[in-house]
Structure 1
Amino acid sequence: MEQDQKRLQELSEALQKFQDDLQSAVEARQRLESQQAENKAVQKEFKTLGEDGDIYRLVGPVLLKQDKAEANSTVDGRLEFIGKEINRTEARIKEIQQGSEKKRMDLMQLQQKMQLSAQEQGNG
């Protein structure tokens, strides 16, 4: 019975770690989606900008003029990177959810076993 209690504690702690990891991964995905939306908005602005329009980039406290092609390339590269990171984060979330579900099932089975054992001791 003591061994079951120890195992129950271990499973509960593992499940809590999965939940913490899941929360962190979801927050990371939300940050990435926010960055993606910002960069898509910038990309949209670039498309509405005329050929003679100027683009400035904030570097520290200074605005520096930037070539339009270079700016487009930078934003496109960022969007590509963010897209890959979102896919990687989604895969991580799925992996965490699967691990969490397995621990949850193990925990439920152990609890049922302990309840049956307690009932048998009470009836015996």
Structure 2
Amino acid sequence: MDKNSAALYKKMQTEVEAYQNLQKACVKVVKQRALLESQLSENKCVLDELKLLGAENKVYKLFGPVMVKQDLDESRQNVGKRIDYISKELKNSNDSLETMERDMMKHRETMTKYQQQWQVAAAMK
């Protein structure tokens, strides 16, 4: 392998490593997104149930091993805030995933370019 081929091969390997690292990061973000979607769904169900309750109903929240009475409106607000927070985190995860996918495509294109150049250089040898 001459110097030019070796340099192209090294560049291609660098792109492959960057691509693989992005793949690993994507897997983590997809897992995080699945967890967030699950939490969002759960909290929406809780809010729907809280909306069915009237002022005469009692609401309790688990604090460690103890159930503590909580105001119904406060409970609704807390769950609503949690839904807002989870929704923002979910949007951030989706945005990160889109960015990673674009970066992966760039690396894939660059890998293909280097691979073609390397093959041409090897064929000319």
CA distance in 2, matches of 1:84, 1:113: 44
Matched residue, 2:105: 101
- Is structure 2 residue 92 aligned with structure 1 residue 88? yes
Q: Deviations over 1:53-79 (max 9, x none)?
A: 111101001111100011001000000
Tell me the CA shift for residue 37 of structure 1: 0.4
Larger relative contact order (CA 8 Å, sep ≥ 6): 2
Could you say which residue in structure 1 is the equivalent of 2:6? 2
Alignment partner for residue 21 of structure 1, among 25, 30, 39? 25
- Residues 59 and 72 of structure 2 are in contact (CA less than 8 Å); yes or no, is this contact kept in structure 1? yes
* 1:1-124 correspondence to structure 2 within 5 Å: 1-121=5-125
Does structure 1 conserve the Cα–Cα contact (< 8 Å) formed by 2:9 and 2:115? no
1:25 deviates by 1.0
In structure 2, how many angstroms separate the alpha carbons of the residues matched to 1:78 and 1:111? 48
CA distance in 1, matches of 2:9, 2:121: 12
Deviations 1:8-37 (A, max 9, x none): 211110000110111111111111111100
The count of corresponding residues between Structure 1 and Structure 2 is 121
TM-score by length of 2: 0.93
Q: Following TM superposition, where does structure 1 have runs of at least 4 consecutive aligned residues deviating by more than 3 angstroms? A: none
Q: Give structure 2 stretches of 5+ with no counterpart.
A: none
Percent identity for Structure 1 against Structure 2: 33
The CA RMSD measured in Å over matched residues stands at 0.9
C-alpha distance in 2 between matches for 1:27 and 1:101? 21
Q: Which 5+ residue runs of structure 1 have no aligned equivalent? A: none
